[in-house]
Amino acid sequence: MRIDLAGFARGGRDHSHSEMLALCETAERLGFEGIWFNEFHFQEPPQAYPSITILASSILARTSRLRVGASAIITPLHHPLLLAEDIAQLHWQSGGRFDLGIGRGTHQDTFCALGVDIDTARDRFEQAYDIVTDAWATGIETTSGRSVGPLLPGEKVPVYVAGTSKETLGFAARNKLPLLLSLDPPEAAQLATCRNILAETGHACDLRESSLSRYVCIDTSRDRAMEKLDRLLPQLHQRRLRAAHEAGRDVSTVVMPDRETALQRKFIAGSPEECAAQLVGLQRETGIRAVRLVFNGNGVIDWQTAERDMRLFSAHVMPALKQRDIAPP
């Protein structure tokens, strides 16, 4: 099972860039396979890392094995040919260690700030994928008729789709692209929608190459891990309430899950042995062989605590997972 990290680099400049690079070097030493970052622009307070590609370039230069992923780049906000060049360069510089997640985007303020009509986002998103992948495989035809490229002859950048709508999941199915499954809504709903689309259309998308996401609360005993979980749940709920309010959504629809629901849908939690068993069960249930783990509660938990839990996970859960590795269904 591929075990990646996510949730870091959200928020302002609470940590130095040197600390971010040190975290990634630690992640590599501990055996995590990748680390993923989201694209956010024009946030308050300003984000430390609005550009995933610049951050990825820095991390990839400091590591030798760790993969870096975008979860996701909002393609309607970028010129697709420049994006194709940037990703091709990252792929080449890193020896093929960059994973590209793409998304349509729904943040109205960002589209307005950049003068992009959000009503065109769907078309721009789907067209961008075609333009980017064509530029990699066959090249670019300039308006003067001059041909450039291909940018990545004979090579492929792994591409994932982040999204929850039926339209976006249908796009992923048509193009046989794996998914970056989210915590909201739970992946069961996304997978059910995607499987229905595949059954209706006959597309041959392999969902096993997708990536799940889970928060992690781990400790040497179940009781201590459950105490962490119980402290974290209301903090995450307050964040969701703020996000709903800022987006103009009805906050009364945002309900804090109880412990059992959280364990079923969003968390890997317990002793190392229990965490390993839960991950094995998750893979058996979904057939998916990769997961992005969030040790810092998406910025709620301090990095020192998160790194301590990462070390515990590396020392005890990873060896157990290797011993219980599941053959693909």
Is position 102 within any domain?
Answer: yes
Assigned token pair, 225: 């891990």
Residue 63 in contact with residue 56, Cβ under 8 Å?
Answer: no
Q: Over 70: is that where the pLDDT of 280 sits?
A: yes
Choose between 33 and 15: higher pLDDT: 33
- Average pLDDT (6-22) is 89
Judge whether 283 lies within some domain.
yes
Domain for residue 329, yes or no? no
Instruction: Answer whether residue 94 is part of any domain.
Output: yes
- The pLDDT assigned to 251 comes to 83
Residue 328 pLDDT > 50, yes or no? no
Contact 228, 21 (CB under 8 A): no
CATH of the domain at 295: 3.20.20.30
**Residue 10 pLDDT greater than 90, yes or no:** no
Q: Which domain holds residue 307?
A: 2-323
Residue 108 resides in a domain = yes
Surface-to-core class of residue 320, CB atoms within 10 Å of its CB (0-12 exposed, 13-18 middle, 19+ buried): middle
HSE-up (13 A, CA, CB side) for residue 230: 6
DSSP string, 31-65: T--EEEE----S-SSPPS-S-HHHHHHHHHHH-SS
Is the torsion defined by CA of 124, 195, 107, 38 positive or negative? negative
pTM score of the predicted model: 0.93
Domain membership flag for residue 328 = no
The span from the CA of 318 to the CA of 1, in Å, is 9
pLDDT of residue 314: 98
DSSP character string of 56-104: HHHHHHH-SS-EEEEEEEEGGGS-HHHHHHHHHHHHHHHTS-EEEEEE-
Confidence bin at 139 (pLDDT 50/70/90): very high
| Mean pLDDT to the nearest integer, 189-193 | 86
Q: Is the pLDDT at 247 greater than 90, yes or no?
A: no
Beta strand 140-141 with 147-148 is: antiparallel
- pLDDT of 224 > 50? The answer is yes
Higher pLDDT, 9 or 310: 310
Which band of pLDDT confidence, cut at 50, 70 and 90, is reported for residue 329? very low
- The burial of 86, by beta-carbon neighbours within 10 Å (0-12 exposed, 13-18 middle, 19 or more buried), is given as buried
- The amino acid at residue 183 is L
Residue type, 281: G
Of 117, 114, 118, 106, which Cα lies nearest the Cα of 243? 106
Number of domains the chain is built from: 1
| Amino acid identity at 293 | L
198-222: average pLDDT: 90
Q: What is the mean pLDDT of residues 61-85?
A: 97
Note the pLDDT of residue 198. Answer: 85
Mean pLDDT of 134-161: 89
